[in-house]
Amino acid sequence: MVASMILETLIDFGARLATPGEFSKRAFLNGRVDLIKAEAVARLIEAKSEDAVKILAKQVAGGLGEFINEARDSLIEIMAHIEVSIDYAEDDLPLNLLEKIEEKLLTLERKLENIIEISARKKGLISGFKAVILGKPNVGKSTLLNQILSTNRAIISTVAGTTRDTIEEEIRVGTHLIKIVDTAGIRDSSDEVERIGIGRSKEAAKSADMIIALFDASKKVDEEDMEVLTFLEEIKGDKKCFYLLNKVEKDLKFDKTLLPKEVIEISATKDASPIIRKIREYLDTQKVDSEIILISENQIRRVKETTKALKESKEFLNEGSLELFSFHLHEAVDALRAITRPYSVDEVMDKMFSDFCLGK
């Protein structure tokens, strides 16, 4: 109450409230922080897990900024060499200069590609890993979701084909954030709406970081289970797959040999802790081992633009067309610059800083 009375009095005397992101925007405009730090602060405020806080705090500390600036400096140095060389006759070029430049560019390109790959793998540490519950109808997917969330979020029934749409919820597991998705049971259906739902289930599974594949222990394996297993093989790639046998308090009829040895047995109506524990153990191993990670779409896009420009530039270097080589290097430098201090800031800034909480 006292605080708001003081505030009102100040406003009466002509003060105004800060607009969203105003302090960070000013810090950026005054050159106190670069865009990387400003973006990290924006995200830090909204971080939903300890993992996210750790990564973003590192980002504020500046590892990525240093790396980008060093990369830019080394490209500018190469450009300077080339500008001088353009005036020389080809025979007068310092020995091995072009080979050395090519080697430098290749090293940088590899580093950038490596950062993109690590960032894609670790994305879930900030925004939450996506875990999709998959299985044929009636195996207990929605029951498991509700048990994990400890709520009655999804409708459960003995009717096969109860869940029609995907249901997504966020939960924290240890220090991690996960987005857990319940899906429509996979089967051949003639029902139009159910078919759309099954399509969505498959799309969700394809974009998942983790898959929780559920099978009913109390039923014999049938074609629908086999369809789920085949689909999993198709899309698995480097996703983490947990195989679960549900309803294990009933007599076992399912042929366990079809599933991997490390199958997790549960009774979703009673207890989801075995799978929660496994997810936690798995995510605990997904630590941030790199100081440098890209945290926004903008950063990823710019780094990709940089590697593309570097690749293109090398072709011209090999041909000896130094002007064109230099042109592409300029593009690479501009793309890197856009990560820390873009030339045209208005568009980026308005979008970014308005996402902030008031003031900050």
161 binds, among Mg ion, ligand GTP, none (CB under 5 to 8 A by kind): ligand GTP
**Binds ligand GTP by CB under 6 A, chosen from 49, 69, 119, 142:** 142
**How big is the site for ligand GTP, counted in residues (CB under 6 A)?**
23
| Comparison of 138 and 299: residue with beta carbon closer to ligand GTP | 138
Q: Least separation, in Å, of the C-beta of 153 and ligand GTP?
A: 11
Could you tell me where the beta strands, DSSP code E, fall in the chain?
A: 129-134, 167-173, 176-182, 210-216, 240-246, 264-265
Is 141 a binder of ligand GTP (CB under 6 A)?
Answer: yes
From residue 310, give the alpha-carbon distance in Å to each of 58, 84, 119, 262, 325: 28, 20, 20, 45, 9
Q: Least separation, in Å, of the C-beta of 283 and ligand GTP?
A: 24
Q: Sort residue 320 into left (φ over 0), alpha (ψ -120 to 50) or beta.
A: left
Q: What CA–CA distance (Å, rounded) separates 111 from 28?
A: 27
**Binds ligand GTP by CB under 6 A, chosen from 110, 250, 253, 277:** 250
299 binds, among Mg ion, ligand GTP, none (CB under 5 to 8 A by kind): none
Q: Least separation, in Å, of the C-beta of 20 and Mg ion?
A: 40
Q: What CA–CA distance (Å, rounded) separates 144 from 275?
A: 10
Site for ligand GTP in 12-71 (CB under 6 A): none
**Binds ligand GTP by CB under 6 A, chosen from 42, 131, 156, 338:** 156
Q: Least separation, in Å, of the C-beta of 7 and ligand GTP?
A: 51
Q: Sign of dihedral through CA atoms 48, 264, 268, 230?
A: positive
Q: Sign of dihedral through CA atoms 54, 59, 63, 68?
A: positive
Is 185 a binder of ligand GTP (CB under 6 A)?
Answer: yes
Q: What residues line the site for Mg ion (CB under 5 A)?
A: 141-142, 162-163
Q: What CA–CA distance (Å, rounded) separates 175 from 280?
A: 9
Q: Least separation, in Å, of the C-beta of 22 and ligand GTP?
A: 47
| Comparison of 119 and 138: residue with beta carbon closer to ligand GTP | 138
130 binds, among Mg ion, ligand GTP, none (CB under 5 to 8 A by kind): none
Residues with Cβ within 8 Å of residue 237, at least 6 apart in sequence: none
Is 197 a binder of ligand GTP (CB under 6 A)?
Answer: no
Residues with Cβ within 8 Å of residue 102, at least 6 apart in sequence: 314, 317, 318
Interacting stretch for ligand GTP, rule CB under 6 A, among 26-34, 93-101, 156-164, 347-355? 156-164
> What's the count of helices (H) and strands (E) in the chain, helices before strands?
13, 6
Interacting stretch for ligand GTP, rule CB under 6 A, among 40-48, 50-58, 63-71, 263-271? 263-271
Query: Which of 110, 112, 119, 111 is closest to 55 using CA atoms?
Result: 119
Q: Least separation, in Å, of the C-beta of 262 and Mg ion?
A: 25
Give the other-Cβ count within 10 Å of 56's Cβ. Answer: 23
Q: Least separation, in Å, of the C-beta of 194 and Mg ion?
A: 11
| Comparison of 270 and 287: residue with beta carbon closer to Mg ion | 270
Is the separation of the CB atoms in 252 and 217 below 8 Å? yes
β-pairing verdict for 264-265 and 210-216: unpaired
Q: Which residues here bind ligand GTP, judged by CB under 6 A?
A: 135, 137-143, 156-158, 160-163, 184-185, 246-247, 250, 267-269
